[in-house]
């Protein structure tokens, strides 16, 4: 039962954000359908659109939009949200790129035995890489300060 209650609370978070994003789309005169679901224990709101305007360069606009969405939830409910926002499938495509980059780094470490320093990534992207490295039986750590924080992949 607790899981259904949790999912209901997360869907309510998503509904708050969907209403906010709907207004934003109207103001910006952009077309898009908004879908709300629960994935991996967090609210997940998707704007299905052909426009990349709300993604921006390297997902910068999308990240800002996600932070605004989390602020909406914080303002309305009083608690922090781990809600995710995606636009035009950007996060899904980026995840596939990150997994491919992680696999390349893993193969290089396995071949050379030398550590591999990846390009700087945000916290969410680093988590995807760390998970992939752990699944391959290697170790990884983050080094540096944001925005130049990066993953270093090493043999065990």
Q: Are 150 and 142 in contact (CB under 8 A)?
A: yes
The residues pairing with 152 across neighbouring beta strands, listed in sequence order, are: 117, 141
Clarify whether residues 9 and 45 are in a common domain. Answer: yes
CB of 61 closer than 8 Å to CB of 29:
no
Q: What is the pLDDT of residues 10-46, one digit of tens each?
A: 999 999 999 999 999 999 999 999 999 999 899 999 9
Strands in 116-117's sheet, in edge-to-edge order, are: 116-117, 150-154, 139-143
Residue by residue, pLDDT tens for the chain (156 residues) are: 458 889 999 999 999 999 999 999 999 999 999 999 999 899 999 999 999 999 999 899 999 999 999 999 999 999 999 999 999 999 999 999 999 999 999 999 999 999 999 999 999 899 999 999 999 999 999 999 999 999 999 999
**83, 26: one domain:** yes
For residue 102, the domain's CATH number is 3.30.1370.50
CATH number, position 23: 3.30.300.20
Enter the pTM of the model: 0.86
For the chain, the domain total comes to 2
Same domain, 11 and 83: yes
Structural domain that includes position 107: 92-154
Q: Which of 62, 88, 114 is the endpoint of a domain? A: 88
Whether residues 112 and 142 share a domain: the answer is yes
Count other C-beta atoms under 10 Å from residue 119's C-beta.
Answer: 9
């Amino acid at each position: 039962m607790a899981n259904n209650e949790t999912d209901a609370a997360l869907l309510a978070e998503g509904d708050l954000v969907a209403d906010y994003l709907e207004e934003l789309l109207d103001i910006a005169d952009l077309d898009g359908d908004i879908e709300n679901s629960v994935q991996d224990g967090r609210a997940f709101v998707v704007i299905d659109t052909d426009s990349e305007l709300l993604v921006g360069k390297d997902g910068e606009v999308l990240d800002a939009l996600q932070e605004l969405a989390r602020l909406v939830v914080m303002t309305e409910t009083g608690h922090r949200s781990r809600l995710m926002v995606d636009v035009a499938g950007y996060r899904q495509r980026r995840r596939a790129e990150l997994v491919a980059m992680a696999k390349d780094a893993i193969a290089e470490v396995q071949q050379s035995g030398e550590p591999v320093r990846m390009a700087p990534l945000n916290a969410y992207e680093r988590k995807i890489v760390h998970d992939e490295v752990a699944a391959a039986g290697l170790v990884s750590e983050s080094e540096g300060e944001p925005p130049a924080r990066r993953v270093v992949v090493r043999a065990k």
